Amino acid sequence: MTTLGGGCFWCLEAVFDEMTGVVSVESGYMGGHVERPTYAEVCGARTGHAEVIQVTFDPAKVAFRDILAVFFTIHDPTTKDRQGNDVGPQYRSVVFHHDDAQKREAEAFIAELAEKKVFPAPIVTEVSPASTFWIAEEYHQEYFAQHGHEPYCQYVVAPKVAKFRKVFADWRKAGS
């Protein structure tokens, strides 16, 4: 399992739902100081939480490094507290590691990207220990699958899904 924040959780969930080896994806909140935060509280930047996805994956089918490769391809890890028009600490780029091995691998992956100058600006992605995961309200789960026709989904989520499908075509689940 891993927990990732990179802007709106709808975008991340839609992509990782299609990835081979991913068993489940849940949208939620992590990294804050309020118990049982609501979407309104998190969006108001009053709780310290990031919008995240919790990804359960089968390590026999997909490596944590591959999860990181997709994550760093579909969002901008160089903008602090921002992804496109979504602004605030709840949209920060963060890898919440669940053990020391994930921490080391995430830090090494970020260092590799920086050394190769993959991005035109410094990577600001946090690598932090996982804390309590608070699942988001039901209407956020599988949002893109249920509301893909809505303007936000068409202009923000769909391009990230399309990028995943193009760059990682071999990593797509059959039928997705």
Catalytic positions, written as ranges: 8
Please count the CA atoms within 13 angstroms of the CA of 163 that sit on its side-chain side.
Answer: 17
Give CA–CA dist 13/10, Å, rounded: 5
Q: How many angstroms separate the Cα of 122 from the Cα of each of 82, 105, 115, 132, 169?
A: 14, 18, 10, 29, 28
Cβ atoms of 96 and 129 within 8 Å: the answer is: yes
